[in-house]
Structure 1
Amino acid sequence: MDLRKKLGPLLDDPALGKARSASVIDVATGEPLYGRAAGTPMTPASTVKIATMAAALSALGPDHRIATTVTSTPDARRITLVGGGDATLGRAGLRALADDTARALRDRGVTKVEFRYDTSLYSGRREHPIGPNDNIAPVVALMADQGRLNTSRGGPAPRSGDPAGDAARFFAGLLRERGIRTSAPPEPGKPPKGSETVARTYSRPLSDLVERALTESDNDIAESLARQTAIAAREPASFEGAGRAVGAELKKLGLPVTGARFADGSGLNRQGRVSAALLTALLARAADPARPELRPVLTGLPVAGFNGTLRGRYADAGPAAGLIRAKTGTLTGVNALAGTVVDARGRLLAFAFMAGSTPAPGTAQKALDRLSAALVP
């Protein structure tokens, strides 16, 4: 297959705007099969989640779970709900935590407590640089249902301006239902010295969080896992600290990070920069038998025409549906696609196509679909 002849005209489609880059490699050998400006850093949009997820898996391992904890003073008169950064914590998890907390307090003969909640694990600004937005909640260490103000489980939704406070107030209500009164509405505060854990709930394993973040392009999980990577690297759990930690972790993996900038974990920040070559190298490293901990990066990629952000794509792209797995990236004027496909020779290929200054998202997405579909046998 002459990829230059096959992909070149498709990459020249005006729907892909003024700036384009491409990389296609043989995953098994790392051999570049096609490239155009492959090493040029461009705005990745949500394809940067591939980098965020690989860094988190490398730093923490696929079995890592994020804890949300309740502590109490030795006399059990003051409790603190401590956020650990679990962006998947929901009301069911808080109910289970309230069950355990109330049981522990009743066992001590306590039915009234002073209640605080602790979000100090994270530092820096809470609001994403794009400002209040239906695509992401304020980035805080404690939230329930991603701060959603409706019953949705994914996608854009109105968000609370104070997800930590909302979660704490909901938890206080759960305690009241279980016979534990609070002396006043919950306020922010760290656990006093000498506090001990009385209850704890955990997220699903990191491998599951990674798959969900990639399949649904979940921005809240992505920012959470970027900060978990920062904490593991002893960096501040902020946008800046997370960016440094992700870059450093990818460098440890031997990936080409020169010129890359990880401005956030989700790709909503237009200041982020990633090359097509880095994206394909990331996908190849995730397929490396020597790095099984990275495999969820591949298994979390949406399947063309079937699930996640590719559910409604590839209808006009020939037989590609079901054969391509890829992460999308979409901002106004920015479109990208990076993923894997098996070619006619049975080789697993990794591809990344990036476009900037695109005139319209719909036509750009179809052009990217045609590019990746051209790799299908």
Structure 2
Amino acid sequence: MRPSDPWGGPKILTKKRNGAYTWQVIAGSAALGLVVAAGAVLAAGPWDNGQRKAERALAAAGDRTGGAHHGRPTPDGPRPAPSAPAVLPALGTTTHDAPQDTAALRDTLAPLIGDPGLGDKVAASVIDTATGEQLYGQGATTPMTPASTIKIATATAALSVLGPDHRIATTAALSPDSRTVTLVGGGDPTLSRAALRAMAADTADALREKDRDSVRLAYDISRYTGPVLHPISPNVNIAPVTALMVNEGRVNNTDRGPAKRTDDPAGDAARTFAAALKKAGVEVTGEPREARAADEARTVATHRSAPLDALVERTLTNSDNDIAEALARQTAIAKGESASFAGARRAVTNELKKLKVPMAGAHFADGSGLDRKDRVTPALLTALLARAADPDRPGLRPVLTGLPIAGFSGTLGGRYAPDAEGTGLIRAKTGTLFGVNSLAGTVVDRQGRLLAFAFLASGSIDAGQAEPALDALATALAGTGG
């Protein structure tokens, strides 16, 4: 079979050494390894030695595209290079039993968390990831609507169950009589037209071996169950959730952000495959029909997605709702649950309980955060970030490496000015729904401590006021601990 070329390109994740992943947590402007067009290298928290960053190529190319439902458009073209932040000490040199001045931290955050732009309800948690000690809390155990910060939970559960190397397979199966080819969806929302062309070429080769030049075409989407429409659908932020789709069901050439979505992603994928078969010299008789592949059918072509760590990074960096829902369903399948919204909720909940994080009040109505019925606490989000920073859990590291970087990538790419104090230092997942704004991520304080934070706000009337207020809170953490 011909090798496929998934969007993520060659996998150069931190390699295994003696059967175990290696990782290195370092901080400071020379430690992160995010190379931008101007060549600046800025610090922004933990980094896996040798880790391929999902948004690195985007940042280097000057891509300023935001996430699926966050922020406002930013001008095209190159952006001035920000001033390099002060170099911070490597985490390994920090004395973590030095006294924490929690009173000073409280005094620093109190006036900022009271910003009226955040709305009428704000909950917060700040912890030292090395010790698990809560350094600041306001309603830290209060369940709140998290918006897209819930993707941190979805990604953590998926990595915990499946591991960073897991790939989602799409296959073509040939019936025993060689008269029918079935395109079997595995749940990869990033499946591309190029991948289908490669699969069609392999399928054509297999048919020629059987002296056949025409087939019927079916498509199998039985891997997923339950409703395909998210409660907010139809919506430009998410396609129908099916096990077979091309480019997240987008009807144009965009690969991120809001876009018009097809109402039949599986059928469109099958028709695209049919056209590719025709170009490969195979006649497809009739229209593609939905049907399960026969148990005796033989796999003649396979495409595998980028590895899960890359999918997680893309999900978090760009706040990709379609991949987030796929991650939740892949988790459900691995846990023996139905691959539906309900099954994913059970699977994510049960897996996170195994990580011994505070789950009181948590409710995962979906994997993306678009559902307003979602509930998490700030304490849960900071605990998950601490688990991802745990040197004994290297498989969870993409939860940190996928977080957008202030002023540079993903949904934080346009929220920090080039010369802003927090630019390049803060890594955080954003969350935005009408009246709901959130920010959860990591920052290194002046003592070199890696802090995890989560700020969840509701009741705001203007995201243009809430977002700067959240950014100011994260920036203030970078200046504490001196």
- The bucket for the TM-score relative to the shorter chain is over 0.9
Match for 1:139 among 237, 241, 264? 241
Letter in 2 for 1:125: P
2:372 corresponds to 1:260 = no
Residue of structure 2 in register with 1:64 after alignment:
166
Letter in 1 for 2:113: L
Match for 1:44 among 146, 149, 156? 146
What's the TM-score once normalised by structure 2's chain length? Answer: 0.77
Instruction: Determine helix, strand or coil for the equivalent of 1:79.
Output: strand
- Percent identity for Structure 1 against Structure 2: 63
C-alpha distance in 1 between matches for 2:169 and 2:412: 31
Match for 2:282 among 152, 168, 180? 180
C-alpha distance in 2 between matches for 1:211 and 1:151: 21
1:343-373 deviation per Cα after TM superposition (whole angstroms, max 9, x unaligned): 0111000000000111101110000000100
C-alpha displacement at 1:317, in angstroms? Answer: 8.7
Match for 1:19 among 100, 121, 129? 121
Moved over 3 A (4+): none
1:23-73 deviation per Cα after TM superposition (whole angstroms, max 9, x unaligned): 000000000000000000100000000000000000000000000010111
C-alpha distance in 2 between matches for 1:158 and 1:94: 21
Match for 1:121 among 223, 245, 261? 223
Match for 1:286 among 388, 401, 406? 388
C-alpha distance in 1 between matches for 2:199 and 2:318: 27
1:275-305 deviation per Cα after TM superposition (whole angstroms, max 9, x unaligned): 0000000000001011110000000000000
Kindly tell me the number of residue pairs found equivalent between the two proteins.
377
Match for 1:166 among 268, 275, 280? 268
C-alpha distance in 2 between matches for 1:361 and 1:307: 19
Residue of structure 1 in register with 2:406 after alignment:
304
1:63-110 deviation per Cα after TM superposition (whole angstroms, max 9, x unaligned): 000000101112211110000000111111111111111111112111
Q: Is the 8 A contact 1:115 1:183 kept in 2?
A: yes
Match for 1:193 among 284, 292, 295? 295
1:178-217 deviation per Cα after TM superposition (whole angstroms, max 9, x unaligned): 1111111101000123111111110000000000000000
Instruction: Determine helix, strand or coil for the equivalent of 1:99.
Output: helix
C-alpha distance in 1 between matches for 2:294 and 2:128: 55
Structure holding more helix per residue: 1
C-alpha distance in 2 between matches for 1:331 and 1:320: 24
Q: Is the 8 A contact 1:235 1:245 kept in 2?
A: yes
Residue of structure 1 in register with 2:352 after alignment:
250
Q: Is the 8 A contact 1:317 1:373 kept in 2?
A: no
2:375 corresponds to 1:273 = yes
2:182 corresponds to 1:80 = yes
Letter in 1 for 2:330: Q
C-alpha displacement at 1:318, in angstroms? Answer: 3.6
C-alpha distance in 1 between matches for 2:269 and 2:337: 26
Residue of structure 1 in register with 2:57 after alignment:
none
C-alpha displacement at 1:326, in angstroms? Answer: 0.2
2:318 corresponds to 1:216 = yes
C-alpha distance in 1 between matches for 2:475 and 2:449: 15
2:465 corresponds to 1:363 = yes
C-alpha distance in 2 between matches for 1:314 and 1:28: 27
What's the TM-score once normalised by structure 1's chain length? Answer: 0.99
Q: Structure 1 residues 319, 131: CA separation in 2 closer, same or farther (over 3 Å shift)? A: same
Residue of structure 1 in register with 2:18 after alignment:
none
Letter in 2 for 1:168: A
Q: Is the 8 A contact 1:317 1:370 kept in 2?
A: no
Instruction: Determine helix, strand or coil for the equivalent of 1:113.
Output: strand
C-alpha distance in 2 between matches for 1:317 and 1:366: 15
RMSD: 1.0
Match for 1:93 among 195, 217, 232? 195
1:131-189 deviation per Cα after TM superposition (whole angstroms, max 9, x unaligned): 20000000000000111111111000000000000000010000011111111110100
C-alpha distance in 2 between matches for 1:90 and 1:262: 29
C-alpha distance in 1 between matches for 2:310 and 2:266: 23
C-alpha distance in 1 between matches for 2:436 and 2:365: 16
Single out whichever of 89-98 and 55-64 deviates more from structure 2: 89-98
C-alpha displacement at 1:315, in angstroms? Answer: 2.2
C-alpha distance in 2 between matches for 1:255 and 1:92: 41
Residue of structure 2 in register with 1:351 after alignment:
453
Instruction: Determine helix, strand or coil for the equivalent of 1:355.
Output: strand
Gaps of 5+ in 2: 1-100
Gaps of 5+ in 1: none
Letter in 1 for 2:428: A
Single out whichever of 150-159 and 92-101 deviates more from structure 2: 92-101
Instruction: Determine helix, strand or coil for the equivalent of 2:251.
Output: coil
Instruction: Determine helix, strand or coil for the equivalent of 1:211.
Output: helix
C-alpha distance in 2 between matches for 1:216 and 1:316: 20
Q: Is the 8 A contact 2:407 2:418 kept in 1?
A: no
Single out whichever of 219-228 and 187-196 deviates more from structure 2: 187-196
Q: Is the 8 A contact 1:280 1:351 kept in 2?
A: yes
C-alpha displacement at 1:314, in angstroms? Answer: 2.1
Letter in 1 for 2:337: E
